[in-house]
Structure 1
Amino acid sequence: MSKFHEQLMTEWPRAESFYYYSQIAPTSYSITVKLNVTKLKDCVQQRGLKFFPAYLYAVSRVVSQIKELKMAVRDGTLGYWDYLNPVYPQFHPEDQTVSLLWTEYSSNLSEFYQRYLSDTEEFGHDRGILTKKGVPPENAYVISCIPWFSFDSFSLQHHQLKDYYLPSFEAGKFIEQNGELYMPLSINAHHAATDGYQLKVFLKELQTLMDGANSWME
């Protein structure tokens, strides 16, 4: 189970930035990049696995390594979680609606993958904004996709959300360029918790993890 750790402002170099961007000038922002998913796609195909849960695992693993991407307020206290659980969409082609489902993260790919398969099999056909699995836990972040088209930019607007500092992710349709496969990824972040530097670290680590998929899919 993910534990919540209090962030002491006196011990946090970003304390003034957090106060400014959360209380004086509340600011969120989004960036869109293209990830090279060639090696990750090849690995899952060779093993007969599904791409989406492998992608969920990769993002969740890297997010859980960066404190600023796990910041939250719990019972009025600012802190961060050990790890975050992904909340992802279940599309229903029969009526073109979407329901949200979540899966408990595990640092072990096989364990997480089986949890994903179990959750989607049991709850994937439920209708409503949430499946019958229920409300996601506090340490959950949204990671979605638009598989029908690609994009160069995407911005998700969170209206009137107070004390919400977790990032959200939106992926798009694959693009093939010069024999390589790319996927657009938009990240929406709250400036109080996350600067551009943290996203740079996240993107570098995520690309490295995807490129080395053979080593963690063994």
Structure 2
Amino acid sequence: MTTINTNYHPINQTTWPRREYFYYFTKMMPTGFTVNATIDITATLDWAHRHEVKFNAAYLFLVSQVLTRHPEFRVGMVDDQLVEFDVVHPSYSVLHEDDHSISSLWTAYSPNFSQFYQDYLQDIKRFGSQHTPMPKAPQSANLYMIGSIPWLDFTSYTPLPFTPLNTYFPVIQAGQYTTKGGKTTMPLSFTIHHAVADGYHVSQFYQDLRDAMAQPEAWLTTD
């Protein structure tokens, strides 16, 4: 199993470029926002089928890989100190077919897909059948929420927290994919605290993910 990377460095808020925006969007006008877009997953889905790899694992890996390229999406808190983590690890839901309940699992991110995939399969095997909200206890502050609703082709998905927004990692949700004319697309929702990112940053995430999904051979390995 991959050793979970919990490395981070403190953010100096006196020199941080987003200092004033962070203050504004946390103190004066606490705000988060959601962007929904459609992703072409044709190439990656085909790659997964040809290599007999679960598409969900490729989805989790590619999103995590893209997030490592954007410091805005790796901002967290440790002991009331604002920090930037080296990486973030996907925390995802699994469905129990017998009663349709869900459990939340996480798998340590590894920059090597083969390693990540093996860890993912082991986590599913060990914890996936346990009917409890969190069968695998969190071991780090740098877990981000990512999931999918594969039964629903939605056009909008917005998480509604019932407490003040106090987390800075993105929340990502995929929907049912649709194939038409040889092209398979998937809706994807991205929710983020406005204190750490703007619409531009989210648009860059989508562009990078689209590039990754279009070039699975360059991003995924099975060796």
TM-score, with structure 1 as normaliser: 0.96
**Distance change (3 Å), C-alpha of 1:7 and 1:98:** same
Partner Cα separation in structure 1 for residue 8 and residue 164 of structure 2: 20
Q: Do 1:72 and 1:163's aligned partners in 2 also have CA atoms closer than 8 Å? A: no
Q: Do 1:102 and 1:136's aligned partners in 2 also have CA atoms closer than 8 Å? A: no
Shift of 1:162: 5.0
Partner Cα separation in structure 2 for residue 16 and residue 217 of structure 1: 39
1:177 counterpart residue number:
180
Aligned counterpart in structure 2 of residue 7 of structure 1, from 7, 11, 21: 11
**Distance change (3 Å), C-alpha of 1:176 and 1:136:** farther
Q: How does 1:117-156 map to 2 (within 5 A)?
A: 117-131=121-135, 133-156=136-159
For 1:55-114, what per-residue CA distance to the aligned partner results, in whole angstroms no more than 9, with x for missing partners? 100000011111110111111111111000100011001011000000000000000000
Q: How does 1:94-133 map to 2 (within 5 A)?
A: 94-131=98-135, 133=136
Following superposition, which runs of at least 4 residues in structure 1 exceed 4 angstroms of deviation?
A: none
Partner Cα separation in structure 2 for residue 142 and residue 189 of structure 1: 11
Q: CA RMSD in A?
A: 1.2
Shift of 1:12: 1.7
**Distance change (3 Å), C-alpha of 1:36 and 1:162:** closer
User: Is residue 2:54 matched to residue 1:54?
Assistant: no
1:31 counterpart residue number:
35
Which residue identity lines up with residue 10 of structure 1 in the other structure?
Answer: T
**Distance change (3 Å), C-alpha of 1:172 and 1:79:** same
2:91 counterpart residue number:
87
Q: Do 2:165 and 2:193's aligned partners in 1 also have CA atoms closer than 8 Å? A: no
User: Is residue 2:24 matched to residue 1:20?
Assistant: yes
Partner Cα separation in structure 2 for residue 136 and residue 211 of structure 1: 33
Shift of 1:178: 2.9
Partner Cα separation in structure 2 for residue 153 and residue 29 of structure 1: 12
**Distance change (3 Å), C-alpha of 1:34 and 1:136:** farther
Q: Which moved more, 1:172-181 or 1:12-21?
A: 172-181
Shift of 1:181: 0.3
Partner Cα separation in structure 1 for residue 124 and residue 69 of structure 2: 26
- How many residue pairs align between the two structures? 217
Partner Cα separation in structure 1 for residue 134 and residue 79 of structure 2: 24
1:198 counterpart residue number:
201
User: Is residue 2:160 matched to residue 1:160?
Assistant: no
Partner Cα separation in structure 1 for residue 164 and residue 25 of structure 2: 14
For 1:111-164, what per-residue CA distance to the aligned partner results, in whole angstroms no more than 9, with x for missing partners? 000000000001000111111x21352100010110111001111112214531
- In structure 1, runs of 5+ residues without a counterpart are none
User: Is residue 2:64 matched to residue 1:70?
Assistant: no
SS in 1 for 2:102: strand
Partner Cα separation in structure 2 for residue 106 and residue 217 of structure 1: 12
Q: Do 1:40 and 1:213's aligned partners in 2 also have CA atoms closer than 8 Å? A: yes
Q: Do 2:32 and 2:165's aligned partners in 1 also have CA atoms closer than 8 Å? A: no
Q: Do 1:87 and 1:136's aligned partners in 2 also have CA atoms closer than 8 Å? A: no
Which residue identity lines up with residue 19 of structure 2 in the other structure?
Answer: A
Shift of 1:201: 1.1
**Distance change (3 Å), C-alpha of 1:142 and 1:36:** same
Partner Cα separation in structure 2 for residue 74 and residue 204 of structure 1: 30
For 1:171-216, what per-residue CA distance to the aligned partner results, in whole angstroms no more than 9, with x for missing partners? 0000123321000000111100111111111111111111110123
Identity of aligned residues (%): 34
